[in-house]
Amino acid sequence: MKKIIFDLDDTLYKDKSLRGEREKAIIKVLKGKTKRYQELRKTNSTIESLEKLGVSRKKFYKIMGEVPIKLKKDGELREFIAELESKYKLVVLTNSPLWCAKKILTQIGIIDLFDKIYGGDHFEEVKPSEECFFMVAKGDICVGNNFKKDLAVPQKKGAVTVLVSEEDSADSDFNIKNIYELSRVIEAIETLN
């Protein structure tokens, strides 16, 4: 059975409030390095940016732990993911720590629909490190909101890549604006096979 490997934040769910609170907590720790952090974020993941500024991944996870997660169950998302679960093995692969991923997936009401959940703390390095994508096989579908971090390595491994973003990318195989548009991508893939 083929897999769909999802990034978590800003891919499976979007919550501007939570993202904003996390950014505030990071800025508070960075003090005078805020401008440099914002520049680094244009081309790096949050963790990569922080590490370049001397903030370890462990410290980042501590910062995240101090930001309360308050998300609501999402019945529409549950129904959509349950449909996918009937045809595919479902995996979450996030740079967030496992405890955080599980809390988010539990709160939005879809944790039981995933076969496996991998957090950044499972690996020596975070995405886009190749070790994070050990489970990706040719023909799997990888879905993420950042091509470099979530999709570049899977594409090299022969996965179908789907970018969830307001901005299209010539690099990904498919571009969608929100997770629900994944159904049309899957239809297109199934038609080709």
Which CATH number do you get for residue 95? Answer: 3.40.50.1000
Query: Which pLDDT does position 191 carry in this prediction?
Result: 84
Query: Which pLDDT does position 193 carry in this prediction?
Result: 66
* Nearest to 89, CA basis, from 4, 28, 31: 4
Residue 61 sits in the same domain as residue 80: no
Residue 35 sits in the same domain as residue 111: no
Residue 168 sits in the same domain as residue 94: yes
Residue 93 sits in the same domain as residue 53: no
What number of other Cβ atoms are within 10 A of residue 172's Cβ? 22
Structural domain span for residue 93: 3-14+71-192
Between CA 192 and CA 63 the distance in angstroms is: 45
Domain count, the chain: 2
Residue 125 sits in the same domain as residue 99: yes
Query: Which pLDDT does position 43 carry in this prediction?
Result: 84
Between CA 52 and CA 66 the distance in angstroms is: 22
Query: Which pLDDT does position 42 carry in this prediction?
Result: 86
Coil/strand/helix, residue 99: helix
Residue at a domain's end among 45, 65, 85: 65
Residue 42 sits in the same domain as residue 103: no
Residue 40 sits in the same domain as residue 89: no
Residue 100 sits in the same domain as residue 28: no
Task: Tell me which amino acid residue 60 is.
Answer: F
Residue 86 sits in the same domain as residue 103: yes
Q: What sign does the dihedral 131-134-138-143 (CA atoms) show?
A: negative
Coil/strand/helix, residue 161: strand
Residue 96 sits in the same domain as residue 60: no
DSSP single-letter state for residue 59: H
Residue 94 sits in the same domain as residue 185: yes
* Nearest to 132, CA basis, from 145, 119, 142, 141: 119
Which segments in the chain show pLDDT lower than 50? none
Residue 10 sits in the same domain as residue 23: no
The pair of three-digit structure tokens given for residue 163, joined into one six-digit string: 């970018």
Between CA 150 and CA 120 the distance in angstroms is: 12
The pair of three-digit structure tokens given for residue 44, joined into one six-digit string: 């790096």
Between CA 18 and CA 68 the distance in angstroms is: 8
Between CA 155 and CA 23 the distance in angstroms is: 30
Between CA 84 and CA 8 the distance in angstroms is: 16
